[in-house]
Amino acid sequence: MRYLLYACCFLFVAGTLNAQADQSLKEAKKQLKKYYLDQSNTGALDAAKTAIIEALSDSGMASNASALITKGKIFNELANEGFKTKTLDPAAVLSTPDAAAQASEALMKAAGLAEKKADKKDALKTLAETENHLNNYGIFAYQDQNYTSAFQNFSSSISLSKFLGEMGESSRLAEGSLMDEQLLYSAVSGYYSDEVADADVKPFLMQLYEKGSEEPFVYEGLYSIASKAGDGNAIEFLQKGRELFPDDSGLLFSEINHYLQAGELNVLTDKLKAAIAAEPDNISVYNTTGNVYDQLAQQARKDENTADAEKYQNEAMSYYEQALVKDANNFEANYGVGQMYYNQAADMVPALNKLGEDYTKPGIAKYDALKKEMDAMFSKALPYFVKAEAGNSSDLNTIIALKEIYARLNDLEKSEMYAKKYDELSKQ
């Protein structure tokens, strides 16, 4: 008996909830009708939005085609109001930035669930309007650099276009190159959004890649995504892009970074020279080229290949000097030249220490000659590190170099000064 009473109470509550959902749906339709009669009455539209959200919060109403169509129409009108607002004031902030996406989702669901032909026809007809809203809202968000919202709208328009095709309806994206453009905008928006996963961006890029896209970003984006995922074949996307667009600087620099990270320095030199030809005023490329040649010189010295070491060192110096012609105070170039002279001096230390154990007259003479050569090299490095510090006073490597050089040159006061500065900076 008690169980029956509980069951009756449950049915009563459920019935009450369904009645509330029905009432909310009626209210939503009523307020939407008010808005249709007077489109300056945006309060009625807001009331309709509140009512339809209340109605659809009931699980029984979630599959009601009429309710979903009503939601689609309400959110279409909200999107239309947003369009008018942004057209008059591009700086305006949209109150419902996902209005078009919500309309699209509701109407597609309604068209799939509708048992009445009239409901299905109504949903599909309303979706034609939603397509335009999705595109406009995607553009608004993209212009505002709200890439997450842009991705939501552009990608939703692609889903909607495919849905309309499956339903035998026409889509604006079926015309000309509009679908490819939407795929690209979806990909770019998702790529630059901090909230969209690479896995959600990649399918759009792959569709364009398989079509042989003429957009360099497609190949650069796919390489970046594959590289972050640890895909060993990532370079293939980059190579394909470079093959199609040999003059694109974005792809060139991505390729340079790839080989830098891989440590394949010999492959880099021609590519860096091409980068300089492409962007002759880009100082960072000169510095990178100098650094690569410096690393090649160091490797040649380790291999005791004196001829190559000297050749690479001269190349490195040439590119650093070209950078300094463009900007005499450039930190990277000054540090690079200083480091080259410093390393040459440091390479002499082991031989000098060995000679220090030879107290014969010839040994002492050799020691003095080598020390003089080493000190001269440290002296050459010094002004470049001083300029480097002026450009970046908190760089620890520069401070260490200055401390060591002054110590080698017996300027202990300055060496101690930089030692203290190093201690202070390293604690920060």
- DSSP secondary-structure letter at 286? H
Given a contact cutoff of 8 angstroms between Cβ atoms, the answer to whether 124 and 164 are in contact is yes
The mean-pLDDT minimum among 240-244, 248-252, 403-407 falls in: 248-252
Which of 291 and 71 is assigned the larger pLDDT? 71
Q: Read off the pLDDT of each residue in 309-327 and give the average, rounded to a whole number.
A: 93
- Look at residues 332, 316, 238 and name the one whose alpha carbon lies nearest to residue 282: 332
**For residue range 337-381, what is the model confidence (pLDDT) as tens digits?**
999 999 888 888 888 888 888 889 888 899 989 999 999 999 999
Cα distances from 215 to residues 179, 188, 219, 242, 364, in angstroms, run 14, 11, 8, 12, 67
CA pair distance 63, 85, nearest whole angstrom: 32
Q: What is the end-to-end Cα distance of the chain in Å, rounded?
A: 75
Q: State whether residue 56 is helix, strand or coil.
A: helix
CA pair distance 134, 107, nearest whole angstrom: 13
- What is the pLDDT at residue 8? 36
Q: Read off the pLDDT of each residue in 73-96 and give the average, rounded to a whole number.
A: 92
Share of the chain above pLDDT 90, in %: 66
Task: Encode 251-280: b = buried (16+ Cβ within 10 Å), e = exposed.
Answer: bbbbbbebbbeeeebeebbebbebbbeeee
- What is the pLDDT at residue 167? 92
- 404-413 — which CB contacts under 8 Å span 24+ positions? 404/342, 405/342, 405/378, 405/381, 408/345, 408/374, 408/375, 408/378, 409/375, 409/378, 409/379, 409/382
Residue type, 227: S
pLDDT at 332 over 50: yes
- What is the pLDDT at residue 10? 38
Given a contact cutoff of 8 angstroms between Cβ atoms, the answer to whether 193 and 154 are in contact is no
User: Residues 33, 100, 114, CA angle at the centre, nearest 5°?
Assistant: 65
Which residue spans within 255-369 are E strands per DSSP? none
- What is the pLDDT at residue 308? 87
- What is the pLDDT at residue 3? 39
- What is the pLDDT at residue 419? 93
pLDDT at 11 over 90: no
Please enumerate in sequence order all residues whose Cβ is within 8 A of that of 313, keeping only pairs 6 or more positions apart, or say none: 293, 294, 297, 340, 344
Q: Read off the pLDDT of each residue in 68-80 and give the average, rounded to a whole number.
A: 95
CA pair distance 8, 87, nearest whole angstrom: 55
- What is the pLDDT at residue 124? 93
Please enumerate in sequence order all residues whose Cβ is within 8 A of that of 330, keeping only pairs 6 or more positions apart, or say none: 283, 287, 323, 324, 391
CB atoms within 10 A of CB 121: 12
CB atoms within 10 A of CB 425: 13
